[in-house]
Amino acid sequence: MNEVKLAIMGGEGTGKSALTVRFLTKRFIGEYASNFESIYNKYLCLEGKQLNLEIYDPCSQSQKAKVSLTTELHWADGFVVVYDISDRSSFAFAKALIYRIREPQTSHCKRAVEPAVLLVGNKQDLCHVREVGCEEGQKLALDNRCQFCELSAAEQSLEVEVMFTRIVKDILTNFKLKEKRRPSGSKSVAKLINNVFGKRRKSV
């Protein structure tokens, strides 16, 4: 069974956990702050393959915090970067996250292919107080080789499911490219990081 590791990143209050739980349970939980990082497990059948999807949901991160992502860059196969369309500062934080993910690779984190990234403008139901235009999100995604969508975790269960399916398909495409470009490689670092992140696991 293929393992797919996905990290959900974004500023505080952007709805990362709401998107994750909406996908896992189809329920909307509203916004909440968490002081704990969690990894959720979900089994999927996609493109005829059985997948074990692990979704890393970090604890709430201040948008004033320094963007590091060193551990996440080693661990994750793909990233969902979330901002709130009614909060311009969250868009600036999402931009900083994407720049960090797309930085030239260092000797500590070399990849055969770039990680898959999906930029998500959440809270589309708050378009009457919009601060970030849809075209701005599209341009940021295009300039940094990312997928893009706008949606509402509060109102759009199907769109959230489609969004997660898109990023997982991108990751599977990257797996195929890796097989072609790198016939062999060590997984010891990934296993080490996985053990570190295995503090709180939740099966759905």
pLDDT digits (tens, 9 = 90+) for 111-130: 778 999 999 999 999 999 99
Please give the mean pLDDT across all residues of the chain. Answer: 85
Q: Which residue segment(s) compose the domain that 113 sits in?
A: 3-198
Residue 204 lies in a domain: no
pLDDT in tens, 15-28: 999 999 999 998 88
Which CATH number is 71's domain given?
Answer: 3.40.50.300
Q: Which helix (H) or strand (E) holds 163?
A: helix 157-181
Residue 106 lies in a domain: yes
Residue 142 has pLDDT above 60, yes or no: yes
Residue 140 lies in a domain: yes
Taking alpha carbons only, the member of 63, 19, 18, 57 closest to residue 40 is: 57
Whether 121 contacts 153, CB under 8 Å: no
| Segment 98-118 mean pLDDT | 79
pLDDT in tens, 57-72: 986 655 555 567 888 8
Per-residue confidence (pLDDT) for residue 107, from 0 to 100: 44
Residue 203 lies in a domain: no
Residue 154 lies in a domain: yes
Looking at the 3D structure of the chain, how many domains does it have? Answer: 1
Per-residue confidence (pLDDT) for residue 47, from 0 to 100: 80
Sheet (strand 147-150) strand order: 147-150, 116-122, 78-84, 2-10, 49-57, 38-46, 201-203
Residue 63 lies in a domain: yes
Q: What is the pTM of this model?
A: 0.83
Per-residue confidence (pLDDT) for residue 130, from 0 to 100: 98
